[in-house]
Amino acid sequence: MENELRAEITLSSPDVPAALIDELLPKLAGDALGKALGTRGEGRLIRHELHGDKLTLEIASTGGRPHQPLLSVVRKLGEELGRRAKVGVRSVTVLRYRLTFAVEPMPTKPVPLAIPHHLSFADGRATLELLDLPEEALRDNWPDRAATLVEEKARRQSYAGKEQAWELIEQSPKREHAGRDDPTEAMLKRNWVRSGPTKGKWFLGPLPAHLLRTMERIAREEVLAPLGFLEVMQPHHDSFDILVKTGHLEGLPGEFYYVTEPKSRDPADWERFTDLVAITRKVPHDELAKLVSPPSAVACYAQCPTIYWWLSGRTLAVDDLPLKVYDRAAISNRYESGGRHGLERVDEFHRIEPVYLGTPEQLVALREALLARYRHVFETILELEWRTAWVTPFYLQQSGGVGLEEPGQRIRGTIDFEAYLPYRGPRETAEWLEFQNLSIVGEKYTRAFTIRAQKGELWSGCSGIGLERWLTAFLAQKGLNADDWPDRFRKYVGELPKDVKFL
Ligand code: SER
Ligand code: ZN
Whole-number Å distance, alpha carbon 467 to ligand 1 midpoint, is 13
Decide whether any atom of ligand 1 lies within 6 Å of the 394 Cβ. Answer: yes
- The CATH number linked to 155 is 3.30.70.1920
Residues 204 and 195: their CA atoms lie apart, in Å, by 9
Protein residue with least CA distance to atom 2, ligand 1 = 464
Q: Of 107, 140, 159, which residue is a domain's last?
A: 159
Distance from the alpha carbon of residue 440 to the mean position of ligand 1, in angstroms: 11
Tell whether 290 and 304 lie within a shared domain: no
- Claim to verify: residue 147 and residue 192 sit in the same structural domain: no
Please indicate, yes or no, whether residues 137 and 276 belong to a single structural domain of this protein. no
The domain in which residue 315 lies consists of 166-196+254-260+299-493
Residue 32 CB-half CA count within 13 A: 24
- H runs (alpha helix) in 389-438: 394-397
Q: 339 and 379: one domain?
A: yes
Q: Are 113 and 119 in contact (CB under 8 A)?
A: yes
382 and 279 both lie in a single domain: no
- Rounded Cα distance, 275 and 268, in Å: 11
Distance 318 CA to ligand 2 centre (A): 23
Q: Is the CB of 322 under 6 A from ligand 1?
A: no
Residue 59 Cβ contacting ligand 1 at under 6 Å: no
Q: In DSSP terms, which residues pair with 40 in a beta bridge?
A: none
**279 CA to middle of ligand 1, Å?**
46
- By CB atoms closer than 10 A (0-12, 13-18, 19+), residue 403 is middle
**Residue 123 alpha carbon to ligand 2 centre in Å:** 39
Whether the CB of 353 sits within 6 Å of ligand 1: yes
**Per-residue pLDDT, 158:** 84
Question: Does any domain span residue 109?
Answer: yes
Q: Which of 243, 246, 304 to mutate to test the pocket of ligand 1 (most atoms within 8 A of CB)?
A: 304
- Number of domains observed in the structure of the chain: 3
Asked if residue 305 has a cis previous peptide bond (ω within 30° of 0), the answer is no
10-residue mean pLDDT series, the chain (503 residues) = 94 94 95 93 95 96 94 96 95 97 93 96 96 96 95 87 86 96 95 89 95 98 98 97 94 94 97 97 97 97 98 97 98 83 85 98 98 98 98 84 76 96 96 96 97 97 97 97 97 94 89
Within a domain: residue 429? yes
- What pLDDT shows up at residue 339? 66
Pocket test residue of 396, 462, 465, 470 for ligand 1, highest count of atoms within 8 A of CB? 462
**Which ligand is closest to the CA of 248, given by its number?**
1
Q: Is residue 211 part of a domain?
A: no
Q: What pLDDT was estimated at residue 224? A: 98
Report the nearest atom of ligand 1 relative to the CA of 303: 1
Q: Examine the domain organization and report whether 112 and 25 are in the same domain.
A: yes
pTM, two decimals, is 0.90
Q: Decide if 412 contacts 185 (C-beta within 8 A).
A: no
| pLDDT (0 to 100) of residue 80 | 96
Q: How does strand 315-316 pair with strand 452-453?
A: parallel
Co-location of 363 and 460 in the same domain: yes
Q: Identify the three-state secondary structure at position 190.
A: coil
How far apart are alpha carbons 272 and 276 in whole angstroms?
6
* Atom 4 of ligand 1, residue of closest alpha carbon: 302
Number of the ligand closest to the Cα of 461: 2
Angle, CA of 159, 164 and 165, to the nearest 5°? 110
The pairing of strands 433-442 and 459-466 is antiparallel
In a domain, 209, yes or no: no
Within a domain: residue 500? no
Which amino acid is located at 359 in the chain?
T
Same-domain status, 365 and 487 = yes
Residue 279 and residue 151 in one domain = no
Closest CA to ligand 1's atom 1:
302
Whole-number Å distance, alpha carbon 437 to ligand 1 midpoint, is 7
Domain boundary residue among 159, 187, 216? 159
238 vs 309: CA distance, rounded Å: 10
Show which of 275, 294, 313 is a domain's final residue: 294
Instruction: Tell whether ligand 1 has an atom less than 6 A from the beta carbon of residue 70.
Output: no
pLDDT of residue 199: 82
Task: Choose one of 436, 439, 460 to mutate for the ligand 1 pocket test, by most ligand atoms within 8 angstroms of C-beta.
Answer: 439
